[in-house]
Every structure is written in structure tokens, then in C-alpha cells.
Homo-oligomer: A and B are copies of this chain.
Amino acid sequence: MAAEVAEQPAALARLWQARTAVAEIAARIARFDPGCVVIAARGTSDHAALYLKYLAEITLGLPVGLASLSTFTVYDARPRLERTLWVAISQSGGSPDLVESTRIAGECGALTVAVTNTESSPLAEAAALHLDVLAGPETAVAATKTYTSELFALWLLVDAWRGGSAGDASRRDAARIPDLAQAALAAAGVDEVAALFADADTLVSTGRGYAYPTARETALKLMETTYVAAQAFSAADLLHGPFAMLGAERPVIAVVPAGRAGASMRPLLEKLADQSATTALVTPSGLDASAWLTDRPHGALARIAIPSVAAELAPILEILPLQRLAHTMALARGIDPDAPRGLNKVTETY
């Protein structure tokens, strides 16, 4: 796991070099001109799917849904998908329910795209188009480099699809993503946060907008490697009910992005401070959200700062120190992060 975490800048650089191939797939999608997008994935790839949902809704103006695979494989749904782009995301491209639902989606009229980390797979064969995220073999059970490569591949796909309209700033940032990833991996504060969470059996991770997939993926990494009961909520959903279970005994990781999405999290962070919740903040270097709390009583507080970057690229950087956090916390608990109990690298569901 540690080796694969460290490989991410190189994997992202490889993908940037291969962007012309990604653009060819985007051109095929643009010609199809979908009216909506449905994304199918499980586990870590499901968080890349959630990222794509935000990206496509915000920058392409398309309604996007996340597929419920059981509707196909258990309830025999055969939806009308003539104007639908179907994107199936999977590290291995092997899970039977993904393969089967993608085959059916194609029969129902969708243009199907498989996004995998393999040259060939049952999923790639079942789909009309195939995007290889080129992360190289991943053997650790906890997916790390395939997640960030999926995110970057999806950004490159959407950017080419919209005709490179991301604006000069985003494109300049995209070219720098491998270097920025190196800096994010080296971010200070990981050990401090791990120490803060040393005794936690439960914790909550939260974010808003583009940062919400990061909160979800953080919770999954922590569940897989440290066995902490980590729960992820969007910062808005957290206020609708789950807030009741928070208290000084449940620490919180808040991924606070730049701009209005991050600003919208301020009332939540203040409410957490009022409860003396132990809080770790992950923010861009230009946004010191801890300053929102330091003039009022609050619980223990730590901060991990990552390089500032365009909002739609930030999720690629945010997760990097949090992968290191999961690894550090696992070792501190005497758990081998390369051998999570009860899991295999490829999970087959039906």
C-alpha cells in the first residue's frame, strides 16, 4: 500500500502524457450527445463515480445518476437508455454485476464506456468504449493509485468532451497535477492527526461538493485499514439527523474546499467546535479554516494543508495525505494495512 501510494505522481504523469487517447474517447461521446449520464461502480471506484457526477453536472450541465446494479441483476429492469451515456468504473473490470449491467445497458441503447486499470477485462469487452487509467498493477487490497488515476482520467475525459473549455487556469493546473501530487503527499500534519485519532473507534468524515467524494473515500480507506467505524456525510446531510450522534467522543475529519463550497461548511465547523469535537481539517494552503474556530472554545484541532488548485482538480490532491493517514493509523494499531481481514483484492458481487 505504501509503495502504491508513493507511485501516484508517476502514474498521474503517465496519464497526462496519454491524454490524446482519452480525447479520442471523448470525441466519440460528444458525437453521441447524451441527454443524461448513468455511472456504475462499487467501493473506491464508486467515489470516482461520485466525482464524475459532480464534474458532469457542474461543467457539462447534464443530469447524472449513480446506477443501482440490483435493478438489472436482481429485478430484471430493462430501462430506456437511448440518450444515455453509461460509464462503468472498476479497477479490475471483473465484478460480475458490473459486467452484466453494462452489457444490458448497451442492449437498452446506452453508449457504454468502461473505465478500468487493465488492458483487457470482461467489463472492457462488455462496453463499447474502453478507457485504461494506466496506473500499473495494483496489488494492495486498499485501492490508492487507481483512485487518483480514475479521477484524473475522468477529468481529462470531461475536459476533452467539453472542448477544453475548462479555462486556462484549470488546464495549467492539470499539467502540474503530478508535481502538485508530490507536494500533497508530503503535506505536514498527518502524524499529528493520527495522534489525535489514536483512540478513536468511530469517526465521521465530511465535505461538500467536490470534496464530498474525498470524505467518502477517506472513510472507506479508514474502514479497510484501521477497522474504525468511519462514516461519511456531506456537510449538509450531516446536519439532517446524524449530527445528534456527534459529541466530544467522536472525532471529525472535515475536507474544506476553497470557495463557496468550503465557506458553506463554516456553520457546521462552528457547531462542532461548540461541542468540543476533535476536528482535523484538510484545506487548500490558502484557506486556513482553523482561523474560523480559534477565537471560540473548541476541541482538539489539527490541519493538513494541500496545494491550492482549481476546484475540480482538488479531489486528486485532497485524498493523498488521507491515504497516508489510513496507513499510519493502521500501523499504530498493529494492523497490517496490506492484509485487511475479510477482504480480497477483487470483490465479486452479483
Contacts and interface: CB of A to CB of B under 8 A. Distances in A.
Interface of A: 35-36, 38, 42-44, 46, 53-54, 57-58, 61-66, 68-71, 74-75, 77-81, 83-84, 97, 142, 201-202, 208-209, 212, 220, 223-225, 227-231, 234, 236-237, 239-247, 250, 259-261, 264, 271, 275, 340-343, 347, 349-350
Contact of A58 (B58, B75, B343): B75
Nearest to A222: B245
Contacts of A46: 237, 240
Contacts of A342: 243-244, 246, 271, 275
A310 B64 CA distance: 30
Nearest 8 Cβ contacts at the A-B interface = A65-B65, A43-B240, A236-B349, A244-B340, A202-B229, A61-B79, A227-B245, A70-B209
B81 A54 contact: no
A236 B69 contact: yes
Contacts of A81: 63
Contacts of A259: 74
Contact of A42 (B36, B83, B236): B236
B42 A74 contact: no
A181 B43 CA distance: 35
A63 B42 contact: no
B66 A343 contact: no
A273 to B, nearest CB: 13
Contacts of A43: 237, 240-241
A63 B61 contact: no
A66 B35 CA distance: 16
B245 A223 contact: yes
A277 to B, nearest CB: 11
Contacts of A35: 35-36, 80, 83
Contacts of A53: 65, 68
B61 A240 contact: no
Nearest to A203: B229
Contacts of A240: 42-44, 46, 347, 349
Nearest to A42: B240
5 contacts: A43-B241, A57-B71, A243-B342, A246-B342, A247-B341
Contacts of A261: 70, 74-75
Contacts of A78: 61
Given A201-B202, A242-B220, A42 B237 contact: yes
A92 to B, nearest CB: 11
Contact of A241 (B65, B97, B224, B247): B224
Contact of A244 (B231, B242, B343): B343
A248 to B, nearest CB: 12
